[in-house]
Amino acid sequence: MRGFAANGWIAVVIALCAGTACIARADEAVPNFAPDPDTGWQAPEDEFIPPPSGPGPIRSDPAHPYLSFYKYPRNEHPAYRVADLSNPILQPWARDALQRANQRALAGAEVALPKERCWPVGVPGFSILPATPIYFLQTPKEVVMIWTQDHQMRHVWLNQNHSAAPKPSWFGESVGHYEGDTLVVDTVGIDTRTFVDNYFTPHTDRLHVIERYHVTDGGKTLEVDLHVEDPGAFTTPWNAVQRYRRTAGPMPETVCAENNGDHFSHGLDPIPQATTADF
């Protein structure tokens, strides 16, 4: 693994960018998100950061403020999430779905997030996965993002166009290109069983997400600017931000399904189960 990582995690890109994007020349440096095989990026919390202005992501209801225990491990506020239904980005049916999720939380029900039950989280939910770092594998043809917990992976195919009719999948179909020091990722075809965020905000098969990854703060921070569109669920496109801090250490082996039963009979959603034997 280390021998492969040491040679494979350095980006070497000399290619035409897809669509109307730029051309990456041989003498242009592209961002290197993995300067060594032990470099990972840790999300400090499990919510999107609002943009400086304009429509932004769903956040907590001011009457029931949520403070992530990932960021504030000693806080005394409740760990459940109650979405702010006044956010104008929501179409009526999406607001109704969030209201039902709110009611479960306010009733004191144990509500486990999909990631906590070992389900893939989709896009843009991939950007608000805390607890363990994400790692990057960069090659001339693709970028692979690996979240350590349960090794959830996203494949970003470089300098290609989207398929004419991409088959829906957990992380959708992602194509990307480099613009100077930024990796631009365009994703469509995201399975509607996923949620946009950890408030259970739904989406339709028209969800379209554009992410821009770039390193800031002298290499200590990875910032992602997100642009989200779904005319089937939202009244307008909206933007959000995520920032990761750089970490160091080899990627551990973490298996979500181990010891993840509903031991106290809370009625948690089931974890993924195979319908047929693998062997």
In-domain check, residue 158? yes
> Tens digit of pLDDT for each residue in 183-208?
999 999 999 999 999 999 999 999 99
Q: How far apart are CA 263 and CA 32, in angstroms?
A: 43
In-domain check, residue 70? yes
> Tens digit of pLDDT for each residue in 86-106?
999 999 999 999 999 999 989
Domain count, the chain: 1
Helix, strand, or coil (residue 178): strand
In-domain check, residue 214? yes
In-domain check, residue 182? yes
Helix, strand, coil % over all residues of the chain, rounded to 5? 15, 25, 60
Reference 179, options 209, 134, 210, 155; nearest CA is: 210
Q: How far apart are CA 7 and CA 19, in angstroms?
A: 30
Parallel, antiparallel, or unpaired: how do β-strands 208-216 and 182-188 relate? antiparallel
Mean pLDDT, the chain, rounded, equals 84
* Position 45 pLDDT exceeds 70: yes
In-domain check, residue 257? no
